[in-house]
Structure 1
Amino acid sequence: MSYNDNNNHYYDPNQQGGMPPHQGGEGYYQQQYDDMGQQPHQQDYYDPNAQYQQQPYDMDGYQDQANYGGQPMNAQGYNADPEAFSDFSYGGQTPGTPGYDQYGTQYTPSQMSYGGDPRSSGASTPIYGGQGQGYDPTQFNMSSNLPYPAWSADPQAPIKIEHIEDIFIDLTNKFGFQRDSMRNMFDYFMTLLDSRSSRMSPAQALLSLHADYIGGDNANYRKWYFSSQQDLDDSLGFANMTLARKAAEEHGQDVDALANELEGDYSLEAAEIRWKAKMNSLTPEERVRDLALYLLIWGEANQVRFTPECLCYIYKSATDYLNSPLCQQRQEPVPEGDYLNRVITPLYRFIRSQVYEIYDGRFVKREKDHNKVIGYDDVNQLFWYPEGISRIIFEDGTRLVDIPQEERFLKLGEVEWKNVFFKTYKEIRTWLHFVTNFNRIWIIHGTIYWMYTAYNSPTLYTKHYVQTINQQPLASSRWAACAIGGVLASFIQILATLFEWIFVPREWAGAQHLSRRMLFLVLIFLLNLVPPVYTFQITKLVIYSKSAYAVSIVGFFIAVATLVFFAVMPLGGLFTSYMNKRSRRYIASQTFTANYIKLKGLDMWMSYLLWFLVFLAKLVESYFFLTCL
């Protein structure tokens, strides 16, 4: 972003928040990324008029102002003797001058490092002194004094690099992250900020980065937060709620009904408004802290990175702990490696145990079919729904959601993961998958082809047909024969639902209620079956009947309506709230499996025209070349 906008108006760096003016008073999330050439989001978020409050790193008690780990603080609230780990010295000063980086003499390398010069600079690309003598500041003076120039050189940066560094160190002490991982994530974070700062103001760079990772419409954490109904956990607590399937079975009540009965507005719309207000009120320090914690958690996640919603839950638990007095009042640092050993390793071992076992001191692959292996998807989908999160239990059977939110992160290491996860989909090798997964394909082709064939095969429903005479059937028989296509379409849907009962375990929270769908499908099947049966039963293929003729015509149009309805409506959307975008019940499945960008305006109509022409050409050709001739 240039300091001069597109209207040649000079950008005043002293304006509130250090951000450029927005057009029409729109918020950040309405205008964002246009300077980067990316698509804007659909909703506006962070208030552009919100002021950045440059204040000491206090954040309502987040940083211990008096003492941290027994080390004295300076006037700004930082350790007078900071643990600097960056690969620069804040200007290349000589020892004894303010701001001099004392990393080379005071930083204790990671106890979990695996080699390397302990006196290295700690950078992603370390700078060593001559002949292995350790880190030499004079060598660094020869290189750039500003390793992140776009961010560092701008006086309007909402937060200084030293402050960001302190946040990373503080989080590492509070959660027990590895020092080397911390340095890598700091360098990665600063690279992201610096890259964006070269194209926009530093304040906008930090804001957009926070939007991408945490608070924006496209941020995976925000999607998961609302999909798993964490807003209700924050306000009501899952322990106090009868959740979804169990609630419906026991009390005929779902989450939407429960939210409507409670005092206050717990609707999804109100939750999103509260989320936006919270994002608008964040200070630069809080945004950096959110991003730093997320990156530090991700940086040591190993294979758990393949379960992004699981990481979101870990991050949410860590945030609850970080903002609690339990964390703020803790004086001693957490031992290095605690997060990796206590939180990640048990999950990693569970995932590994599904595929490998130890035999003669070596890991060998298990003789286990894939339909019995609990894989990444099964682990990840547990965290999509509050019912899945409620399954997380300890050895004594206590649920994780039954303990206070601020204590859950500390208890993750005690979870019996082997009793928590299960297969969310039965991966059975069978051709029956073709019926469930491609039901609409079979309905469109099979039903229409049946109608074509029935109409052009009168000999099948002409009694005592003689080819030389070529007598024609009753009109009612021809209408009724074509109407059987509706029976075929309904039967395919019934089979698809029956097979879904087999493939999707009922204990998974994302499994749809199939009983009601099956009931309606049977009724539609009978509605399509009655007219042809009545017609052929009354006419006996030779007796003309006005009533049978009328019923056959009505039956045909019922079949056409059935065909169109089943062709455009997904199986999961039949007679359920699955397609209701404002319902909480299946919002996770909508978000993570059926989240498509909707076309608008001319693009939408051109898409309709394209598919209309495709099917028109396909069906016309099929009629003349497959059934008519």
Structure 2
Amino acid sequence: MQFEEIKAAVSALWNTRGLNWPSSVEQHRHKTGDLDMLDWLKAMFGFQACILHRDNVRNQREHLILLLANSHIRLHPKPEPFNLASLDDRAVDSVMKNLFKNYKTWCKFLGRKHSLSSYGVLSHRLPQGQQEIQQRKLLYMGLYLLIWGEAANVRFMPECLCYIFHNMAYELHGLLAGNVSIVTGENIKPSYGGDDEAFLLKVITPLYRVIEKEAKKSRHGKAPHSAWCNYDDLNEYFWSSECFSLGWPMRDDGEFFKSTSDLTQVFTS
């Protein structure tokens, strides 16, 4: 942790100014003061943490810090020595460009506006200071990495991950903008809540069960391909605008969760 670029990345993730913490976490935060952006994302979206000290939040924090520091140290021209303590925006933008390249391609293919346009630069409802804009970018990158970190076998379906991120990123935008529910009059909350392991249990597990079901139908590869769906077949569903009929939260009766025969009709129609 002696490299200035790593210190700069760590410091940037500590910028939680303006983030509204759940009351259950706020007291702990005031006592210890040791929570950063990824802890906030965990509290809001229910990612894994504190599991034998080898949790998703910890892993992806290190992942993001190293991505940012690696980009920062390779910058040309180099930042002025007195600026090394601050994370250079060029490093942030470089990591962001690589991280979301496939997501933007997916949005363009399906004719959808990508959710990254709402990270603060284009919205009058969010702060416009440089630190605040950088904070928003880091939050979106942190969200994507936390999704990827718990995706298990769903990682083999990259466009499915795009669908998940697309919806959760809009929820993140709503949290940052302070959107209020017209029904309850309270600040909106993520669809799946922030309970411990909510994301794994409510988002990833149902998707994994579809994969597991199809794998069993394959009979270890002995069944004809027409009798089951592999990763590419399942992922194909998310290359179609039909995937948005799943909604968010995802509908249990959505096409993706139907039988193989029904899925085959969707893929070939």
Q: Could you state the TM-score of these two structures normalised by the residue count of structure 2?
A: 0.68
Deviation at 1:415, TM superposition (A): 4.8
- CA 1:198 to 1:70, structure 2 compared with 1: closer, same or farther past 3 Å? same
Summarize the alignment of residues 380-419 of structure 1 with structure 2, pairs less than 5 Å apart: 380-386=235-241, 388-392=242-246, 400=247, 408=248, 411-412=249-250, 414-416=252-254, 417-419=256-258
Question: Per the alignment, in what secondary structure is the counterpart of residue 423 of structure 1?
Answer: helix
Q: Secondary structure at the match of 1:230?
A: coil
Ranges in structure 2 where 5+ consecutive residues have no aligned partner: 1-14, 50-54, 80-86
The answer to whether the aligner puts 1:376 opposite 2:258 as a matched pair is no
What pairs with 1:118-267 in structure 2 (closer than 5 Å)?
166-179=36-49, 180-200=55-75, 201=79, 202-203=87-88, 204-214=90-100, 219-231=101-113
Are the equivalent residues in 2 in contact too, given 1:177–1:336 (CA < 8 A)? yes
Picking from 161, 165, 178, the partner of 1:311 is 161
What is residue 469 of structure 1 aligned with on the other side? Answer: none
Report the residue type matching 1:306 in the other structure: F
Q: Which residue of 2 aligns with 1:81?
A: 31
- Cα distance in 1 for partners of 2:154, 2:118 equals 30
Structure 1 residue aligned with 2:202:
342
- 1:168/1:292 contact within 8 Å kept: yes
Question: Letter of the aligned partner of 1:389 in structure 2?
Answer: C
One-letter amino acid of the counterpart of residue 29, structure 2: N
* Shift of residue 82, structure 1, vs aligned partner: 4.1
Deviation string 1:429-473 (CA, Å, 9 cap, x unpaired) is xxxxxxxxxxxxxxxxxxxxxxxxxxxxxxxxxxxxxxxxxxxxx
In structure 1, what is the equivalent of residue 150 of structure 2? 300
**How far off its partner does 1:168 sit?**
0.2
Inter-partner Cα distance in structure 1 for 2:195 and 2:237: 30
One-letter amino acid of the counterpart of residue 250, structure 2: L
The 2-side partners of 1:415 and 1:169 are apart by: 33
**Which residue matches 1:134?**
none
Q: Distance in 1 between matches of 2:118 and 2:134?
A: 19
Aligned-pair distance for 1:328?
Answer: 4.7
Rg bigger for which structure? 1
Matches within 5 A, 1:267-286: 278=122, 283-286=133-136
Give CA-to-partner distance per residue, 1:128-175, whole Å, 9 cap, x none: xxxxxxxxxxxxxxxxxxxxxxxxxxxxxxxxxxxxx61100110111
Partner in structure 2 of residue 57 of structure 1? 17
8 Å CA contact 2:147, 2:165 repeated in 1 = yes
Conserved? CA contact 1:176–1:337, under 8 Å = yes
> 2:232 is paired with a residue of what secondary structure?
helix
Contact 2:16 2:37 in 1 (8 A): no
Contact 2:46–2:198 (Cα < 8 Å) also in 1? yes
CA displacement at 1:330 relative to structure 2: 4.7
Task: Note the C-alpha offset of 1:83.
Answer: 6.9
Deviation of 1:230 (Å)? 1.8
1:423 aligns to 2:269 (yes or no): no
Hey, what's the Cα distance between the residues in 1 that align with 2:39 and 2:165? Answer: 17
User: What is the CA–CA distance in structure 2 between the aligned matches of 1:307 and 1:187, rounded to whole Å?
Assistant: 24
Deviation at residue 213 of structure 1 after TM alignment: 1.4
Structure 1's 346 and 381: CA in aligned 2 closer, same or farther, altered over 3 A? same
Cα distance in 2, alignment partners of residues 299 and 56 from structure 1? 22
How many angstroms apart in 1 are the aligned matches of 2:265 and 2:153? 19
For 2:98 and 2:61, the matched residues in 1 are separated by 17
Aligned residue for 1:292, secondary structure, equals helix
Whole-angstrom CA distance in 2 between matches of 1:291 and 1:328 = 23
CA contact (8 A) 2:22 2:43 kept: no
TM-score by length of 1: 0.31
Task: Determine the C-alpha separation between the residues in 2 that align with 1:177 and 1:71.
Answer: 14
User: Between Structure 1 and Structure 2, which shows a larger proportion of helix residues?
Assistant: 2
TM-superposed deviation, 1:371: 2.5
Residues 197-254 of structure 1, C-alpha deviation per residue, up to 9 Å, x if partnerless? 212243211111111113xxxx0111111211222x98xxxxxxxxxxxxxxxxxxxx
Contact (CA 8 Å) 1:175, 1:339: kept in 2 or not? yes
Measure how far apart 1:295 and its partner are. 0.1
Aligned to 2:22: 68
Q: Is the 8 A contact 1:356 1:366 kept in 2?
A: no
CA contact (8 A) 2:154 2:207 kept: yes
- AA matched with 2:48: Q
Q: How many residues are treated as equivalent by the alignment?
A: 216
Letter in 2 for 1:344: I
Distance, in Å, in 2 between the alignment partners of 1:303 and 1:226 is 25
The residue matched to 1:81 in structure 2 has which SS? Answer: helix
Aligned partner of residue 349 in structure 1, secondary structure: helix
Partner of 1:608: none
Asked whether the 8 Å contact 2:25–2:43 carries over to 1, the reply is: no
Offset from partner CA, 1:547-585 (integer Å, 9 cap, x none)? xxxxxxxxxxxxxxxxxxxxxxxxxxxxxxxxxxxxxxx
Take 1:72 and 1:375, find their aligned partners in 2: how far apart are those partners? 44
Point out where structure 1 has 5 or more consecutive residues left out of the alignment. 1-54, 85-164, 235-272, 358-362, 393-399, 401-407, 426-503, 508-629
- The Cα of 1:364 is off from its aligned counterpart by 6.2
Query: Please, what is the CA RMSD of the aligned residues?
Result: 3.5
How far 1:323 sits from its partner (Å)? 2.3
User: Per the alignment, in what secondary structure is the counterpart of residue 382 of structure 1?
Assistant: helix
Matched residue of 2:263: which SS? coil
| Alignment partner of 1:351 out of 188, 211, 215 | 211
CA contact (8 A) 1:176 1:338 kept: yes
The answer to whether the 8 A contact 2:144-2:165 is kept is: yes
DSSP-derived class of the 1:224 partner: helix
One-letter amino acid of the counterpart of residue 39, structure 2: I
Bigger RCO (CA 8 Å, 6+ sep): 2
1:462 — aligned with what?
A: none
Counterpart Cα distance in 2 of 1:167 and 1:56: 6
- Displacement of 1:291 in angstroms is 0.2
Read off the aligned partner of 1:323 and give its amino acid letter: H
**Kindly tell me: are residues 304 and 225 of structure 1, through their superposed partners in 2, closer, same or farther at Cα, counting changes over 3 Å?**
same
CA distance in structure 2 between the aligned counterparts of 1:70 and 1:390, rounded to whole angstroms: 33
Aligned counterparts of 1:347 and 1:278: Cα–Cα separation in 2: 33
